Amino acid sequence: MISRLTKLVVTAAATLLIAPIVAEAADQPIPRYKAPLRSVMAYYNWTGFYVGVVGGYASGKADWDITAGGVTTTSSMSPKGWLFGGTIGYNFQAGSLVYGIEADYSFANVKGSTPDCFGAVGTTCEVSHSSLATVRGRIGYAFDRWLPYFTAGAAYGTVRAQASTAAAGGN
């Protein structure tokens, strides 16, 4: 007759040999037959309002001409400085075409001066630019997150040009 301990050892050994096979079968995926996935093209949508901050550096050239007695004298300077402001706009996308309008305003501190302008000792010519604003429309073609566009509009700036003489004590 077989002892109880032998039955227990044989049962435990059989369980340990069969358990990995059963566990492996449980990990096998159940085959499911479905229609193939439909391809949907997702694209970036440019429609909406936006606001932003603008800033930068500006430089330029200012030429002054004066004609006296049929003789023209020229004086030049290179104003430079910074710009800082904000922008606001709205875009509307229809298919791949994007239409929009944008406005911005910048405070500026762009200045330049030259002493002894027009060859006259004691004179000073100054140019200062204190603000810049634009309003413009845009039309573009969206390639997902890339939007090349054309823009056109109007710009307004506050520029002051001044010539002064030390002898006259003013402008």
Torsion of CA 81, 87, 92, 97, to 10 degrees: 10
Cβ proximity of 73 and 65 under 8 Å: yes
- For residue 138, give the nearest of 122, 126, 150, 155 by alpha carbon: 150
- pTM comes to 0.63
pLDDT tens for each residue of 80-97: 999 999 999 999 999 889
Stretch (H or E) spanning 4: helix 4-27
* Residues shown for the chain: 171
pLDDT tens for each residue of 107-142: 999 999 888 887 778 888 899 999 999 999 999 999
Q: Which of 22-26, 113-117, 155-159 is predicted with the least confidence, judged by mean pLDDT? A: 22-26
Residues 47, 94: Cα–Cα separation, whole Å: 9
